[in-house]
Amino acid sequence: ECGQNFVAKYQNITRAASVLMSSQPNVTRTIKHMEQSLGCSLFTRTAGGVKLTAEGKMLYEHVSVAYEHIENGEKELLERLVLHDGRVTIGTSETALHVFLLDRLREFHAFYPRVKLKIANSTTPQSVKELKNGTVDFSVVPKPEEIPTQIKSITLCHFNEVLIGGSQYKYLADRTLSLRETKDFPFICLDRNTASYEYFTGVFAAEGMELMPDIEVGTSDMVLSVVKDNLGIGFVPEVFAEQGIKEGSVFRLRLDRDIPKREICLMRDKGRSLSVAADRLQKFLING
Protein backbone atom coordinates (compact mmCIF):
# COMPACT_ATOMS: atom_id res chain seq x y z
CA GLU A 1 0.00 0.00 0.00
CA CYS A 2 2.91 2.34 0.75
CA GLY A 3 4.35 2.00 -2.78
CA GLN A 4 0.95 2.41 -4.39
CA ASN A 5 0.29 5.48 -2.27
CA PHE A 6 3.49 7.25 -3.38
CA VAL A 7 3.07 6.27 -7.03
CA ALA A 8 -0.47 7.68 -6.93
CA LYS A 9 0.78 10.84 -5.23
CA TYR A 10 3.59 11.56 -7.70
CA GLN A 11 2.11 9.77 -10.75
CA ASN A 12 5.61 8.62 -11.54
CA ILE A 13 7.16 5.29 -10.55
CA THR A 14 10.77 6.55 -10.74
CA ARG A 15 10.08 9.48 -8.41
CA ALA A 16 8.10 7.30 -6.01
CA ALA A 17 10.98 4.83 -5.88
CA SER A 18 13.39 7.64 -5.06
CA VAL A 19 11.24 8.90 -2.17
CA LEU A 20 10.88 5.34 -0.87
CA MET A 21 14.63 4.80 -1.27
CA SER A 22 13.88 1.75 -3.39
CA SER A 23 14.33 0.80 -7.04
CA GLN A 24 11.88 1.22 -9.90
CA PRO A 25 11.63 -2.58 -10.52
CA ASN A 26 10.79 -3.17 -6.83
CA VAL A 27 8.01 -0.59 -6.85
CA THR A 28 6.64 -1.93 -10.16
CA ARG A 29 6.70 -5.48 -8.78
CA THR A 30 4.84 -4.40 -5.64
CA ILE A 31 2.10 -2.74 -7.68
CA LYS A 32 1.73 -5.81 -9.93
CA HIS A 33 1.38 -8.08 -6.88
CA MET A 34 -1.31 -5.83 -5.47
CA GLU A 35 -3.20 -5.70 -8.76
CA GLN A 36 -3.08 -9.50 -9.00
CA SER A 37 -4.32 -9.80 -5.42
CA LEU A 38 -7.20 -7.37 -6.03
CA GLY A 39 -8.02 -8.65 -9.49
CA CYS A 40 -8.02 -5.24 -11.17
CA SER A 41 -5.68 -2.62 -12.61
CA LEU A 42 -4.78 0.31 -10.42
CA PHE A 43 -2.68 2.35 -12.87
CA THR A 44 -2.49 3.00 -16.57
CA ARG A 45 0.67 4.26 -18.29
CA THR A 46 0.84 7.75 -19.78
CA ALA A 47 3.52 9.58 -21.75
CA GLY A 48 4.75 11.31 -18.58
CA GLY A 49 4.31 8.44 -16.12
CA VAL A 50 1.18 6.76 -14.77
CA LYS A 51 -2.31 7.69 -13.66
CA LEU A 52 -4.89 5.99 -11.48
CA THR A 53 -7.71 3.94 -12.89
CA ALA A 54 -11.21 4.41 -11.47
CA GLU A 55 -10.58 1.47 -9.13
CA GLY A 56 -7.17 2.92 -8.21
CA LYS A 57 -8.73 6.29 -7.33
CA MET A 58 -11.27 4.66 -5.05
CA LEU A 59 -8.57 2.69 -3.24
CA TYR A 60 -6.26 5.71 -3.03
CA GLU A 61 -8.94 7.80 -1.29
CA HIS A 62 -9.01 5.28 1.55
CA VAL A 63 -5.30 4.45 1.62
CA SER A 64 -4.13 8.07 1.62
CA VAL A 65 -6.25 8.91 4.68
CA ALA A 66 -5.00 5.85 6.55
CA TYR A 67 -1.40 6.56 5.58
CA GLU A 68 -1.69 10.15 6.79
CA HIS A 69 -2.93 8.93 10.18
CA ILE A 70 -0.04 6.45 10.42
CA GLU A 71 2.48 9.10 9.42
CA ASN A 72 1.13 11.57 12.01
CA GLY A 73 1.16 8.85 14.66
CA GLU A 74 4.78 7.97 13.91
CA LYS A 75 5.76 11.65 14.04
CA GLU A 76 4.03 12.15 17.40
CA LEU A 77 5.61 8.99 18.82
CA LEU A 78 9.09 10.04 17.66
CA GLU A 79 8.62 13.47 19.24
CA ARG A 80 7.73 11.82 22.53
CA LEU A 81 10.68 9.44 22.31
CA VAL A 82 13.09 12.34 21.93
CA LEU A 83 11.05 14.32 24.50
CA HIS A 84 9.82 17.12 22.29
CA ASP A 85 6.51 16.60 24.05
CA GLY A 86 4.99 14.98 27.12
CA ARG A 87 3.61 15.77 30.56
CA VAL A 88 4.72 14.56 34.00
CA THR A 89 2.87 14.97 37.30
CA ILE A 90 5.05 14.71 40.41
CA GLY A 91 3.89 14.53 43.99
CA THR A 92 6.33 16.13 46.42
CA SER A 93 6.63 17.72 49.83
CA GLU A 94 8.12 21.11 50.61
CA THR A 95 11.12 19.43 52.24
CA ALA A 96 11.88 17.15 49.27
CA LEU A 97 11.35 20.02 46.84
CA HIS A 98 14.00 22.23 48.46
CA VAL A 99 16.41 19.54 49.62
CA PHE A 100 16.62 17.69 46.29
CA LEU A 101 14.01 18.16 43.60
CA LEU A 102 14.27 21.81 42.52
CA ASP A 103 17.89 21.59 41.40
CA ARG A 104 17.30 18.37 39.49
CA LEU A 105 14.16 19.72 37.78
CA ARG A 106 16.13 22.79 36.68
CA GLU A 107 18.68 20.52 34.99
CA PHE A 108 16.00 18.33 33.41
CA HIS A 109 14.12 21.35 32.08
CA ALA A 110 17.32 22.65 30.46
CA PHE A 111 17.60 19.36 28.53
CA TYR A 112 13.90 18.93 27.75
CA PRO A 113 12.23 22.38 27.81
CA ARG A 114 9.06 21.21 26.00
CA VAL A 115 8.10 18.60 28.58
CA LYS A 116 5.34 20.02 30.77
CA LEU A 117 5.68 19.45 34.51
CA LYS A 118 2.96 19.55 37.15
CA ILE A 119 4.18 19.59 40.75
CA ALA A 120 1.58 18.54 43.31
CA ASN A 121 2.39 19.74 46.83
CA SER A 122 1.54 17.06 49.37
CA THR A 123 2.75 15.33 52.50
CA THR A 124 4.33 11.88 52.30
CA PRO A 125 1.13 10.08 53.42
CA GLN A 126 -0.88 12.06 50.85
CA SER A 127 1.63 11.14 48.15
CA VAL A 128 1.13 7.43 48.87
CA LYS A 129 -2.63 7.89 48.38
CA GLU A 130 -2.05 9.83 45.16
CA LEU A 131 0.15 7.02 43.83
CA LYS A 132 -2.53 4.45 44.61
CA ASN A 133 -5.19 6.63 42.94
CA GLY A 134 -3.03 7.25 39.88
CA THR A 135 -3.23 11.05 40.18
CA VAL A 136 0.59 11.41 40.07
CA ASP A 137 3.18 9.57 37.97
CA PHE A 138 5.55 9.25 40.91
CA SER A 139 6.41 11.03 44.16
CA VAL A 140 9.62 12.49 45.56
CA VAL A 141 9.23 12.73 49.34
CA PRO A 142 10.95 12.06 52.67
CA LYS A 143 10.94 8.30 53.17
CA PRO A 144 8.07 7.14 55.38
CA GLU A 145 8.45 4.62 58.20
CA GLU A 146 6.16 2.14 56.41
CA ILE A 147 5.82 1.65 52.66
CA PRO A 148 2.90 -0.33 51.15
CA THR A 149 3.95 -3.46 49.24
CA GLN A 150 2.60 -2.08 45.94
CA ILE A 151 4.86 0.98 46.20
CA LYS A 152 8.50 0.85 45.09
CA SER A 153 10.89 3.17 46.93
CA ILE A 154 14.32 4.28 45.66
CA THR A 155 16.61 6.44 47.80
CA LEU A 156 17.74 9.63 46.03
CA CYS A 157 19.73 11.42 48.75
CA HIS A 158 20.23 11.88 52.48
CA PHE A 159 19.88 15.06 54.51
CA ASN A 160 20.36 16.34 58.06
CA GLU A 161 17.85 17.88 60.43
CA VAL A 162 19.30 20.65 62.62
CA LEU A 163 17.97 22.08 65.87
CA ILE A 164 17.51 25.86 65.86
CA GLY A 165 16.31 28.63 68.15
CA GLY A 166 15.56 32.33 67.75
CA SER A 167 17.26 35.31 69.39
CA GLN A 168 15.61 34.59 72.75
CA TYR A 169 17.36 31.21 72.76
CA LYS A 170 20.74 32.46 71.53
CA TYR A 171 22.32 31.65 74.91
CA LEU A 172 21.70 27.95 74.22
CA ALA A 173 24.07 28.08 71.23
CA ASP A 174 26.99 28.04 73.68
CA ARG A 175 25.79 24.81 75.27
CA THR A 176 25.57 21.19 74.20
CA LEU A 177 22.06 19.88 74.81
CA SER A 178 20.82 16.36 75.28
CA LEU A 179 17.68 15.43 73.45
CA ARG A 180 15.96 15.12 76.83
CA GLU A 181 16.84 18.74 77.65
CA THR A 182 14.92 19.95 74.61
CA LYS A 183 11.77 19.06 76.57
CA ASP A 184 12.55 22.00 78.87
CA PHE A 185 11.69 24.44 76.09
CA PRO A 186 8.62 24.92 73.86
CA PHE A 187 9.08 22.46 71.02
CA ILE A 188 7.90 23.11 67.45
CA CYS A 189 7.34 20.31 64.94
CA LEU A 190 5.59 19.52 61.69
CA ASP A 191 2.09 18.13 62.25
CA ARG A 192 1.34 14.48 62.84
CA ASN A 193 0.18 13.88 59.26
CA THR A 194 3.74 14.17 57.95
CA ALA A 195 6.73 11.85 57.59
CA SER A 196 8.70 14.31 59.75
CA TYR A 197 6.38 13.73 62.69
CA GLU A 198 6.82 9.96 62.23
CA TYR A 199 10.58 10.40 62.08
CA PHE A 200 10.88 12.48 65.24
CA THR A 201 8.49 10.16 67.05
CA GLY A 202 11.08 7.43 66.39
CA VAL A 203 14.01 9.66 67.37
CA PHE A 204 12.44 10.54 70.73
CA ALA A 205 11.24 6.97 71.32
CA ALA A 206 14.85 5.74 70.92
CA GLU A 207 15.66 7.88 73.99
CA GLY A 208 12.67 6.52 75.90
CA MET A 209 10.73 9.74 75.36
CA GLU A 210 7.39 10.64 73.84
CA LEU A 211 7.17 13.32 71.17
CA MET A 212 4.85 16.00 72.55
CA PRO A 213 5.25 19.20 70.49
CA ASP A 214 3.90 22.45 71.90
CA ILE A 215 3.23 23.82 68.43
CA GLU A 216 2.48 21.82 65.27
CA VAL A 217 2.72 23.51 61.86
CA GLY A 218 2.23 22.45 58.25
CA THR A 219 5.60 23.15 56.60
CA SER A 220 9.31 23.47 57.38
CA ASP A 221 9.16 27.14 56.35
CA MET A 222 6.51 27.65 59.02
CA VAL A 223 8.74 25.94 61.61
CA LEU A 224 11.49 28.40 60.66
CA SER A 225 9.14 31.40 60.93
CA VAL A 226 7.75 30.34 64.31
CA VAL A 227 11.28 29.75 65.65
CA LYS A 228 12.37 33.20 64.39
CA ASP A 229 9.49 34.70 66.37
CA ASN A 230 10.85 33.02 69.54
CA LEU A 231 7.86 30.78 70.13
CA GLY A 232 10.17 27.83 70.76
CA ILE A 233 12.91 25.64 69.31
CA GLY A 234 12.60 23.04 66.59
CA PHE A 235 14.25 20.93 63.92
CA VAL A 236 14.36 21.88 60.23
CA PRO A 237 16.28 20.42 57.28
CA GLU A 238 19.73 22.02 57.18
CA VAL A 239 19.09 23.72 53.84
CA PHE A 240 16.16 25.65 55.38
CA ALA A 241 18.27 26.96 58.27
CA GLU A 242 21.41 28.01 56.37
CA GLN A 243 20.32 31.54 55.38
CA GLY A 244 18.82 32.34 58.78
CA ILE A 245 21.95 31.13 60.60
CA LYS A 246 24.12 33.24 58.27
CA GLU A 247 21.96 36.33 58.88
CA GLY A 248 21.79 35.71 62.64
CA SER A 249 17.98 35.49 62.77
CA VAL A 250 18.21 31.92 64.08
CA PHE A 251 20.95 29.99 65.87
CA ARG A 252 22.02 26.40 65.54
CA LEU A 253 21.79 24.46 68.79
CA ARG A 254 24.22 21.59 69.36
CA LEU A 255 23.15 18.17 70.55
CA ASP A 256 25.34 15.73 72.42
CA ARG A 257 24.71 13.07 69.77
CA ASP A 258 23.98 12.87 66.07
CA ILE A 259 20.45 12.01 65.08
CA PRO A 260 19.99 9.66 62.11
CA LYS A 261 20.13 11.16 58.64
CA ARG A 262 16.86 11.24 56.74
CA GLU A 263 16.22 10.03 53.20
CA ILE A 264 14.54 11.59 50.19
CA CYS A 265 13.12 8.81 48.07
CA LEU A 266 11.32 8.36 44.78
CA MET A 267 8.16 6.30 45.14
CA ARG A 268 6.05 4.82 42.36
CA ASP A 269 3.27 2.28 41.98
CA LYS A 270 4.77 -1.04 40.84
CA GLY A 271 1.60 -1.91 38.92
CA ARG A 272 1.45 1.20 36.73
CA SER A 273 3.58 1.90 33.67
CA LEU A 274 5.02 5.36 33.06
CA SER A 275 4.84 7.52 29.96
CA VAL A 276 8.06 8.07 28.01
CA ALA A 277 8.50 11.53 29.57
CA ALA A 278 7.79 10.34 33.12
CA ASP A 279 10.13 7.37 32.73
CA ARG A 280 12.89 9.63 31.38
CA LEU A 281 12.50 12.05 34.30
CA GLN A 282 12.44 9.18 36.80
CA LYS A 283 15.73 7.81 35.43
CA PHE A 284 17.21 11.32 35.37
CA LEU A 285 16.43 11.76 39.07
CA ILE A 286 17.74 8.32 40.02
CA ASN A 287 20.90 8.27 37.91
CA GLY A 288 21.79 11.93 37.90
pTM of the shown model: 0.69
Q: What are the helix and strand counts (H, E) for the chain?
A: 11, 13
With both helix axes pointing from N to C terminus, report the angle between 276-287 and 54-81 in degrees, rounded to the nearest 10: 20
Residue 79 has pLDDT above 60, yes or no: no
Nearest 5°: CA angle at 161, between 136 and 236? 75
Q: What percent of the chain has pLDDT over 70?
A: 90
Mean pLDDT of 99-126: 91
Angstrom distance (rounded) from CA 164 to CA 161: 10
Which burial class, exposed, middle or buried, applies to 63 when counting CB atoms under 10 A from its CB (0-12, 13-18, 19+)?
middle
Ranking 60-74, 79-93, 97-111, 227-241 by mean pLDDT, the lowest is 60-74
Predicted pLDDT of residue 149: 92
* Each residue's pLDDT tens digit, 134-188: 999 999 999 988 899 999 999 999 999 999 999 999 999 999 999 999 999 999 9
Angstrom distance (rounded) from CA 57 to CA 161: 74
User: Which residues lie below 8 Å from residue 180, measured CB to CB, with a gap of 6+?
Assistant: 207, 209
Mean pLDDT of 79-100: 84
Angstrom distance (rounded) from CA 159 to CA 240: 11
* Each residue's pLDDT tens digit, 193-203: 899 999 999 99
* Each residue's pLDDT tens digit, 10-68: 677 777 667 666 777 877 788 788 778 888 887 788 877 878 788 878 877 777 777 67
* Each residue's pLDDT tens digit, 238-284: 999 999 999 999 999 999 989 999 999 999 999 999 998 999 899 99
Q: What is the DSSP string of 256-273?
A: SSPPPPEEEEEEEETTS-
Please state the separation of Cα 71 from the chain's center in Å: 29
Rg from Cα positions in the chain: 32
Contact 158, 263 (CB under 8 A): yes
* SS3 (DSSP) at 22: coil
Helix (H) or strand (E) holding 35: helix 24-38
Contact 214, 136 (CB under 8 A): no
pLDDT band (50, 70, 90) for residue 5: low
Closest CA relative to residue 205, chosen from 182, 232, 179, 185: 179
